[in-house]
Amino acid sequence: MIIKDAKFLMSNTKVEACPAPNKPEYAFIGRSNVGKSSLINMLTEQKSLAKTSGQPGKTQLINHFLINNEWYLVDLPGYGYAKVSKSSREEWRRMINFYLQKRENLTCVFVLIDSRHEPLQVDLDFIDHLGTMGVPFVIVFTKVDKQSALKTDSTIAAYKRKLAETWDELPQMFRTSSEKSTGRDEVLGFIEQVNAQ
């Protein structure tokens, strides 16, 4: 897919205030600092469309971007950041659950996972949660430039083993680097294919 146009539309906390649900929507979620905002910039080839930061917890709101006037990309706040208070975590959970359950045009969630880490319970729990809610999702292993392809293979294999304990069918998986634009064609190709269905 060629990205002809990518623009930021709005940030908000409420599903009712999101743009009209009249286009397919793809949301990026994952632990704080996993690279959600960077991946959006890499896919759209705009350096600072989505705000990124070395400090976890940068993205706090539901951020909508309109791509090619045809579909929405959504940057969501991350989970699993230890320094976040219990009440903020609860607020996050409520906002995200509401979004995932009520956003009628939500087509697919991209769960981002740092390719350097062994399976983390917080990610496995979130994936199970999506499954329980019946939300379609795929997994993206991020920051593959930070290590050898073999190490990434081993992380992915470990996740597959873990997921196979609860799931009959494994989700589609991608590997990306926002530094090197790895996986760009694959992710955009997937979205193009789903949009065409």
Which window, 32-40, 83-91, 135-143, 180-188, contacts Mg ion (CB under 5 A)?
32-40
Amino acid of residue 77: P
The distance of closest approach from Cβ of residue 174 to Mg ion in the complex, given in angstroms and rounded to an integer, is 18
Residues 39-68 contacting Mg ion, CB under 5 A: 58-59
Listed in sequence order, the residues at least 6 apart from 157 whose beta carbon sits closer than 8 Å to its beta carbon are: none
Q: Which does 184 bind (CB under 5 to 8 A by kind): ligand GTP, Mg ion, none?
A: none
Q: Which residue is nearest to ligand GTP (CB)?
A: 78
Side by side, which strands form the sheet with 6-12? 6-12, 62-67, 71-75, 25-30, 106-114, 137-142, 173-175
- Indicate the residue among 58 and 117 with the shorter CB distance to ligand GTP: 58
Question: How many Å apart are CA 49 and CA 2, to the nearest integer?
Answer: 17
Q: Which residue is nearest to Mg ion (CB)?
A: 59
Which one of residues 37, 107, 115, 152 is an interface residue with Mg ion (CB under 5 A)? 37
Per the DSSP assignment, residues forming a β-bridge with 185 are: none
- Indicate the residue among 54 and 134 with the shorter CB distance to ligand GTP: 54
Other Cβ atoms within 10 Å of 86 Cβ, number: 7
- Indicate the residue among 20 and 150 with the shorter CB distance to ligand GTP: 150
Q: Kind and range of the H or E element at 160?
A: helix 149-164
- Indicate the residue among 53 and 166 with the shorter CB distance to Mg ion: 53
Residues at the contact surface with ligand GTP, assessed by CB under 6 A: 32-38, 52-54, 56-59, 77-78, 142-143, 145-146, 177-179
Listed in sequence order, the residues at least 6 apart from 75 whose beta carbon sits closer than 8 Å to its beta carbon are: 28, 36, 37, 40, 50, 59, 63, 65
What residue ranges bind Mg ion (CB under 5 A)?
A: 36-37, 58-59
